[in-house]
Amino acid sequence: MARVAVVTGGTRGIGAAISKALKAAGYKVAANYAGNDEAAQKFKAETGINVYKWDVSSFDACAAGLKQVEADLGPIEVLINNAGITRDATLHRMKPEQWTQVINTNLGSLFNMCRNVIEGMRERKFGRIVNISSINGQKGQIGQCNYSAAKAGEIGFTKALAQESARAGITVNAIAPGYINTEMVQAVPKDVLEKSILPLIPIGRLGEPEEIARCVVFLASDDAGLITGSTLTANGGQYFT
């Protein structure tokens, strides 16, 4: 029987690529999204992947959303925590809501999602959790104290939960992408991209969402059973850990 995989932020950008790659690998996929109904319905029509709308920063919303996924598709065995937002500002100009929105969505969502699936995974003695962190959680970034803190927190969360869950047959890993060719990066002015970003990437190009998706498919597979508590760095050589 096909395993059920949930991908948060799963209808656009890296998340959409992950959802499609998991479906191609034989999983039954549920793609979560926050608010863009038009994009989500277009994604569903194009891919045939079920989409579910809820706010990952809300524990109760996650509980209800995941309950519906399990009613529709079956027990959740794979969880990809990909949803994230940015509210960039230097700290001396950052408003409290810019901090809390990013922390609650990017980091709080890991608790909200994992807490609601971990007991079932422990009972079944199998689970795969992959958290999508960021290069900026590893090295920091000007104007992103909130985002960098959240993404660094994801890595710490990953290591702790991996230790708690290993004997229950659950692996927990993180992926830290660098600059990926998504809508967000495409919005960067071309001259900034060519003069300030690409020269920092040794391979000389942006990553593609599908490259991150392939990393996820591997970590979600039986073949990756020995790997847990790890952070897979996928940034074209821009930053080494």
The answer to whether residue 147 is catalytic is: yes
Query: Which of 27, 33, 52, 147 is flagged as catalytic?
Result: 147
List, as one string, the DSSP characters of 37-77.
HHHHHHHHHHH--EEEE--TT-HHHHHHHHHHHHHHH--EE
Closest CA to 84 of 53, 111, 110, 62: 110
Q: Is 74 left (phi over 0), alpha (psi -120 to 50) or beta?
A: left
Closest CA to 72 of 25, 32, 34, 108: 32
Closest CA to 21 of 210, 224, 221, 181: 210
In 10 A of CB 138, how many CB atoms? 21
Q: Are 140 and 106 in contact (CB under 8 A)?
A: no
Closest CA to 173 of 210, 135, 215: 215
Supply the residues annotated as catalytic: 147
